Amino acid sequence: MSKPRLGIFSLTGCAGDQLQILNMEDELLDLVSRFVIVDFQEGSSYKEPGEVDIAFVEGTVSTEHDLKKLKEIRERSKVIIAFGNCAIDGCIQSMRNDQTTLAEKLQDVYGVEPGFFDALPSKPIREYVTVDLQIPGCPVEKTEVLKAVSSLLHGDLPQRYTYPVCVECKINEYPCLITEESKPCLGPIIKAGCNARCPSLGLDCIGCRGTVEGSETFAAEYKMLLDLGYTEVDIMNRLRVFSGELAAGFLGGNNNE
């Protein structure tokens, strides 16, 4: 049987998810030997045209160039996996989408008018193409990537985390930082899969794996943190760091023009 053709593509982002693959020193050679790698920008300048069986796509659509590239990837790929939180939720680039316009951002950051370059409001890839699967994280977890690749090679779907960090926190019997210390932990609304890394160190979760689907849960967490004395600004600024799109939706505005 021929090897599956794998593309690891990058849009606008820090490329930290691709770097996580390169950081798999012990597994990297075995991993790449299982595929024909048709594109891996962070690892090699080699590129191969043609059909892609599995496409990992990291980053947000933040320019017209990103959008054109994403549509081309969709056309040639059987399966697209949103790889990391930029691709899934917009992450850092979209943190102020509900607070300022693209024109204001271009002026504040680059001192230029819209049209100076082909910028678009930073958006997750699902805004433009159908996404088949996702691997969350900022950056992605190495072990999760390996498990996902293993599942795909066996014709299975990678694990989906439909429950929050709190579940892993309680399995490990860590004390709750909200109820015990009134810290603004985002564990109740954030996808599990990190084994509650931050609460294990006494640190409250800041949401790097993105939110579990379901805005009702966020409404409950929002009220709980308000009751503890945090302000709307405190709560929304915390949520915006990794989940700006949810913050924009929750407050009912998305100021992207």
Q: Residue 132, Cβ neighbours under 10 Å: how many?
A: 14
147, with CB counted inside 10 A (0-12, 13-18, 19+), is middle
Count of residues engaged in binding ligand SF4, rule: CB under 6 A: 22
Rounded to whole angstroms, the Cα distance separating 49 from 38 reads 7
Given a contact cutoff of 8 angstroms between Cβ atoms, the answer to whether 39 and 13 are in contact is no
Torsion on CA atoms 144, 149, 151, 155, rounded to nearest 10? 160
Instruction: Determine, following the binding rule CB under 6 A, whether residue 209 of this chain makes contact with ligand SF4.
Output: yes
Given the complex with ligand SF4, which of 124 and 184 has the nearer CB atom? 184
Within its chain, how far is the Cα of 215 from the centroid?
17
Which C-beta is closer to ligand SF4: that of 73 or that of 196?
Answer: 196
- The correct pick among 91, 95, 152, 166 for binding ligand SF4 (CB under 6 A) is 166
Strand partners, 158: none
Q: Is 225 in the site for ligand SF4 (CB under 6 A)?
A: no
Residue 91 within binding range of ligand SF4, rule CB under 6 A:
no
Q: Which is nearer to ligand SF4, 38 or 178 (CB)?
A: 178
Q: Which is nearer to ligand SF4, 55 or 196 (CB)?
A: 196
Binding interface with ligand SF4 (CB under 6 A): 165-166, 169-170, 174, 176-178, 185, 187-188, 190, 194, 196-199, 205-209
